[in-house]
A and B are shown apart, each in its own frame.
Chain A
Amino acid sequence: MTFEGDLLLMVAIVLGLIATVITFLNSRKLKGDVFEKPFVYLSVGIFLATFSLIAVTFFQGVFSELTVGLIHDISFILGLGLMFLASIQITKFLKGLGSFEQKLPKKIKK
């Protein structure tokens, strides 16, 4: 079965590519910031997830079903993994800030 010509899948791919570009451009704006790396991971992650859709849509006529399946699965897993890594880094920052904030009331006795 080929997904070529599936309108919804095309929309998903276009949206994925737009999200990749926007997230990457935002990561450049955050140069030196604690959010720079998570944004880069997020943009690469979104790209890989989108690439897995591109693989099943356009590569089916070019490569064997097994190869296409492998490309799809690996890029999808890697993409999700990178997005997970980005969320871990953001959570780590927020947790660190939160723990420091909790110590503040002791420091600033009224």
Chain B
Amino acid sequence: MIDMKSSLSSNQILLLVMPSAEYNEVLVDAMKQLSGNICYVTSNKTFDSLKETFKKSKVNIDNVVFIDSISKTLKKTPDQADSVYYVSSPGALTELSLVINKFLRHEFDYLIFDSVTNLAVYQKKNMTSKFISSLADKIKKTKTKAIFYALDSVEQAWVIDHAGMVVDKVIKSGGVDGVKGEGKVIKKRLSKKKKEEKEV
């Protein structure tokens, strides 16, 4: 389990790199740890799917507003519903940027972007990089703390490299150090675990 709260207390934007096998686990874990108003931008799982995942894990989503950019590419979806705003596609970066910009004005406590690596599937390299930089810049101008999720894959390693440059801290889930060499939280937990194993 990654200690998001302590990482976010000293850093405004985190990049959480995780293997796809751990995706669901990390998703639920992060939501359980964060208390306050959350703006959850998804380009990976649909809102319905996320809702179901959180419901199963008994995560309270009353204080969460979703921006779903994937549902409209899969099925006929209205522009908005209760607690969710639908964006045309993960590749619709202008639209996504406009919507996030509007939402950020409402001073959410946290913004979760799930996931930056998925943007690269729908958009060109330079556009994705520009979007990530501009998003990080916008967040920096507010008090909102942000977590960018990234799935660890070789094809999208450049996204992780670029996002790693614009965020404050990179955490690699799965026990590997972050790009900036700051996987302190994971390190601590690993050493604690090793100690416990030795004692046993």
Contact = CB atoms under 8 A, between A and B. Distances in A.
* A and B part of one assembly: yes
Interface of A: 30-35, 93, 96-97, 99-101, 104-105, 107-108, 110
Nearest to A94: B98
Contact of B88 (A33, A99, A104, A105): A33
- Shortest beta-carbon contacts, A-B, top 6: A33-B92, A108-B37, A32-B89, A96-B79, A100-B80, A34-B95
Nearest to B102: A101
Interface of B: 37, 63, 65, 73, 79-80, 83, 85, 87-89, 91-95, 98-99, 102-103, 106, 108, 122
A32 B65 contact: no
Contacts of B108: 108
Nearest to B127: A29
Contacts, number: 49
Given A96-B79, A100-B80, A108-B37, A35 B95 contact: yes
Contacts of B92: 30, 32-34
Contacts of B99: 97
A31 B91 contact: yes
A97 B102 contact: yes
12 contacts: A30-B94, A31-B91, A33-B88, A33-B92, A33-B94, A33-B95, A35-B95, A97-B85, A100-B85, A101-B102, A104-B65, A108-B106
A89 to B, nearest CB: 12
Contacts of A93: 95
A104 B95 contact: no
Contacts of A101: 102-103, 106
